[in-house]
Structure 1
């Protein structure tokens, strides 16, 4: 009997070691179902095997494959200290102790319930295996646990990357000719050196990788100390090293947007709902930073650290939801992702739209994410939109739209395919898509690459900005006489919200900045016209689980007698 017990112990020990070090753990599902029916068997394991399974360094026999597999197992745990789940039909069993005293993943923005430093303990604490320490850890001597950072909108100390008070105070606004404009300001672009840049001259890298400016501009920036490495001035023949922090200070000019106010539709401690005017991007992108919805709300209404739940195109107006807490943002995002939110839009299209409810189920494919253009294609993703004509204005129709999916430019692309594009759509109502303007998916027989090149040539974002002026800065002469824009101030429902940065009613030359090396300071900008700022597409109404919000309709949708209450 003694021999049998010894043989049984040896057999079980070898079996457990095999589970740790061989291919059985490759399948995560198998790993979850693997259980040990008696916790005392864990004592039979060799401590070196335990240590090898929980560390990446130190021992030559480390099973790296099992280390990364175990980390993937931990990623599946949500708010539970149970490492292995019971297989269907098997009784509950204690946890595997091979990875005892693992200190868990790094803190995340989600605020996991299990903090760092918390061990994955077995229910029967008397059966714990004591693993010898191999090296010093970063745990404080007093045994205190590191605090997790919670990205909560109500936490005044939490600052989201790129959205700090320092960024908000870079510049300010002024109104001119019915436009919201931004005083030029200095902005620092930073990046860490990429592997392919190492041992190359900094001037060669910037000339090749960042073509927004010619090489002589970067050379002047190096000489002036505006282009630095690790916050230090370097010569133009400096060779980039690993982990170098590159910083380039530029004089930034932003594109004007409409001066129409961002009206707050609803606000409480968890959510902010606004009516976004056309021409204002939702968040910083391209040439827009302060002239975005998130910056305007932060600077003028103290609504900071908002979580973007969904987006609208820059030229699209209407309903926009932001979360003030991460929990609320995730909740609404999940509803949208699960198609539990009903969206209703209103648009004006060319021609007389057919009677009845028209359904379009053509798949949409993204031709280019860089310039933001899509088309109907069999290779695209499935989507569905229903349309109904609700009124007429001259030769155009007012159409009620219900996108049942949420693809990029879905309404615009489906209307183009049906042959009734939005009347002033600068992208999908253009001959660049062929003589039929993309009707029925016909783009003139050109390739996607040729379509992209044609669009870049025609819809260059810089076309309306102005022409080069060799005589000096555009603001050398006194500003034009301007009309003061009358703004309807939204009524805030939370007393803590105050307007911090009131825009100037007109241009103040004292606040203007210039840079002798800035090429944009030498350009005379002409103001964009109304056709450059508005597209006849409006997000009118969103309805989710136990909530519904809608906005006022724009003027172009109210030029005919339409009973919107019946919709």
Structure 2
């Protein structure tokens, strides 16, 4: 039995009205606000006694991490297909679609993992990039440095790790090119960073094709910003577009050191995003916004997008509930029913528009994985067809 301390152990309130007694049961109930994902189903390409191979849709993380739990490949395979206790062999970034393998036993996982470590696994990707990519084969071996694990940003830097990617153009439609990518190493965001360095970022890349990188958008490694300035610019750009979910971070993440300041006006947001770079408490994220129409609307209310999870902001939302809603694409304001709202949850007071299906897709697809004893392929995505136009 707990001693009578005037409150239950760990209670933060000095005058707690209840004292836990022997056999008392204490339950804390919370709810989760998961970012939106595509409704496209997960297609199972191969299932046998050893492996499960799926065609992963864009916007779905592989496993629960950060703000995601239910909207993950692992969770959906278990719930909808009764495929449980799967072993992750490799991962795809959340916004990357394509071939994804799982082992059914630890032995199979270990065998394939050895092929991965010894670089016996051949990987082939396709993507659609900005501009006319060179017709000849292009080999990029620029080293890549991780700027922030929490936000999920990398850049080319001499202090980075060795990388090698081979590119070959498949088609060009006068505006954009479809490129085959053969990564020989497996660094974080390797294909996307190398394409940005070459001056041909992925068309709708929400990280490496953004204004925050400067007029050249990182071509040839020209950034002219410190790492902290770059992260601050990226966060502010997504704040202005109400698309922080794209970075895989929330207002609560930003508020860990920002107090009650607005994230668009304080470098504390970026300091928070840079904090604890080794502990990956959220998936390195990448989501999609069409860069050609991501212009700031001076009439749009961006306050709600940058409201941080603090007492002052909660009080502001209670006094001005209109700040907790934003106009959807049809110009109508969305409202949540009172039954769905938790008065203690800032997220419940913010109503964001649902993203369009196009916003949940990035034009990068894992087309083929080949090992010593297997080869798995998916269909070419629609956006990679030669006659495709956006």
Paired residues of 2:62 and 2:74 also in contact (CA < 8 A): yes
Separation in 2, partners of 1:408, 1:366: 8
- Structure 1 residue 285 corresponds to structure 2 residue 136: no
Match of 1:336 among 116, 141, 145: 116
Q: Which residue of 2 aligns with 1:446?
A: 225
Q: For residue 414 of structure 1, report the CA deviation from its aligned partner.
A: 0.3
Q: 1:394 to 1:328 in 2, by over 3 A?
A: same
Q: CA RMSD in A?
A: 2.9
Paired residues of 1:401 and 1:411 also in contact (CA < 8 A): yes
Q: For residue 202 of structure 1, report the CA deviation from its aligned partner.
A: 5.9
For the residue of structure 1 that corresponds to 2:351, the secondary structure is strand
Q: Which residue of 2 aligns with 1:305?
A: 85
Q: 1:431 to 1:328 in 2, by over 3 A?
A: same
Q: 1:381 to 1:297 in 2, by over 3 A?
A: same
Matches within 5 A, 1:59-458: 203=12, 249-443=29-223, 445-458=224-237
Paired residues of 1:283 and 1:292 also in contact (CA < 8 A): yes
Q: For residue 429 of structure 1, report the CA deviation from its aligned partner.
A: 0.8
Q: Which residue of 2 aligns with 1:532?
A: 359
Q: For residue 277 of structure 1, report the CA deviation from its aligned partner.
A: 0.6
TM-score (norm 1): 0.48
For the residue of structure 1 that corresponds to 2:166, the secondary structure is strand
Q: Which residue of 1 aligns with 2:321?
A: 470
Q: Which residue of 2 aligns with 1:215?
A: none
Render the CA deviation track for 1:368-414: whole Å, top value 9, x for unaligned.
11111110111011110000111013310010110011000000000
For the residue of structure 2 that corresponds to 1:457, the secondary structure is helix
Q: For residue 525 of structure 1, report the CA deviation from its aligned partner.
A: 2.8
Separation in 2, partners of 1:448, 1:290: 33
Separation in 1, partners of 2:184, 2:354: 38
Paired residues of 2:341 and 2:349 also in contact (CA < 8 A): no
User: What 5-or-longer segments of structure 1 have no aligned partner?
Assistant: 1-199, 204-218, 234-246, 475-508, 562-567
Render the CA deviation track for 1:154-188: whole Å, top value 9, x for unaligned.
xxxxxxxxxxxxxxxxxxxxxxxxxxxxxxxxxxx
Paired residues of 2:171 and 2:386 also in contact (CA < 8 A): no
Paired residues of 1:424 and 1:531 also in contact (CA < 8 A): no
The count of residues paired between Structure 1 and Structure 2 equals 291
For the residue of structure 2 that corresponds to 1:290, the secondary structure is coil
Q: For residue 347 of structure 1, report the CA deviation from its aligned partner.
A: 0.4
Q: Which residue of 1 aligns with 2:298?
A: none
Separation in 2, partners of 1:541, 1:399: 14
Q: Which residue of 2 aligns with 1:162?
A: none
Q: For residue 324 of structure 1, report the CA deviation from its aligned partner.
A: 1.1
Q: Which residue of 1 aligns with 2:369?
A: 542
User: What 5-or-longer segments of structure 2 have no aligned partner?
Assistant: 1-8, 246-301, 305-316, 326-336
Paired residues of 2:38 and 2:60 also in contact (CA < 8 A): yes
Query: Higher Cα Rg: structure 1 or 2?
Result: 1
Q: Which residue of 1 aligns with 2:285?
A: none
Between stretches 261-270 and 448-457, larger displacement belongs to 448-457
Paired residues of 1:280 and 1:314 also in contact (CA < 8 A): yes
Q: Considering Cα pairs closer than 8 Å and 6+ residues apart, tell me whether 1 or 2 has the greater RCO.
A: 2
Q: For residue 529 of structure 1, report the CA deviation from its aligned partner.
A: 2.1
Separation in 2, partners of 1:330, 1:412: 28
Render the CA deviation track for 1:523-559: whole Å, top value 9, x for unaligned.
2231012342111100000100110000012110124
Q: For residue 306 of structure 1, report the CA deviation from its aligned partner.
A: 1.1
Q: 1:416 to 1:431 in 2, by over 3 A?
A: same
